[in-house]
Structure 1
Amino acid sequence: MSAPSHHGFSLTRRIAAKADAVWNVILTPNRHWAAAFGEGTRVETDWAEGSPILWLDDEGHIGASGRVEELRTGQSLRLRYHDMAARDAGAALGTYTETFILVSDPPGHTELRVQIDATPHMDNAAHRALWDAALDRIQAQAEMSD
């Protein structure tokens, strides 16, 4: 994984669950870890590489929109977003990315690394706190389901 930009950060969690359980939680954020960003937050995507991704709040307002940039099932996922939340799906993507990397360590456990390459105007400390809470939820859900 490349080093985060000066406008980003990385977080790592060691989760007592198999990688496939962690992967399933990552791909089903609705009513689980997405709530770390606000109750009712949900995603609309089919998770296929190149597909659009749309994050909505509980009232249906767009919080973020982008594309699934890279998908290696069970191993890694990279999402890239528009700089403005409500962009036309065909508009050029911005610099904000989220990368999830899963590594089995040891069998029955998974190291989850999340790298955020943020934009200069983003409050890194606040955004990191939200992601820390999201990872807590991912960990709890994966450990319960495995």
Structure 2
Amino acid sequence: MRLTTKGRYAVTAMLDLVLHSDQGPVSLAAISERQHISLSYLEQLFAKLRRRGLVRSIRGPGGGYCLQRPIEKTFVAEIIDAVDESVDATNCAGEANCQEGEVCLTHHLWSDLSDQIHTFLSGISLASLVERREIQQIASRQNLRGRDQILMTMVD
């Protein structure tokens, strides 16, 4: 069982957006630079997030993305679902054709685990993640690294 890169990147990008939204709309280029996620990949993810009503885009100079609703009402499971991702512990992608086209002995166990993981992620809001001290420390480190890179390019 694993969550693919698409789901991980979507949650990471949304958390970055929240952490930097106090400065206005956040550009995908800035998220790309801080999180080391391809800009074209972020564009694809944010198109899906926008269609699902999780973010809105602001055009023009100083434009970027903003959350569509409060961070307390935006949950990790919604983000993963919005990018057409699922956390599936079954070996058959939930199709119930695990063993030569039929349900295997442990299908329901792994299916129940998948449901439990989704329920767990449905209870984690972006607000609860932002409140975590570890996340604040990592964001501070990333911001300092970004400032150092800007200063170095100005010196060169």
Q: Which category of TM-score, normalised to the shorter sequence, fits these structures?
A: 0.3 to 0.5
- Superposition TM-score, scaled by structure 1 size: 0.36
| Greater RCO (CA < 8 Å, at least 6 residues apart) | 1
Higher helix share: 2
- Superposition TM-score, scaled by structure 2 size: 0.34
Higher strand share: 1
Larger radius of gyration: 2
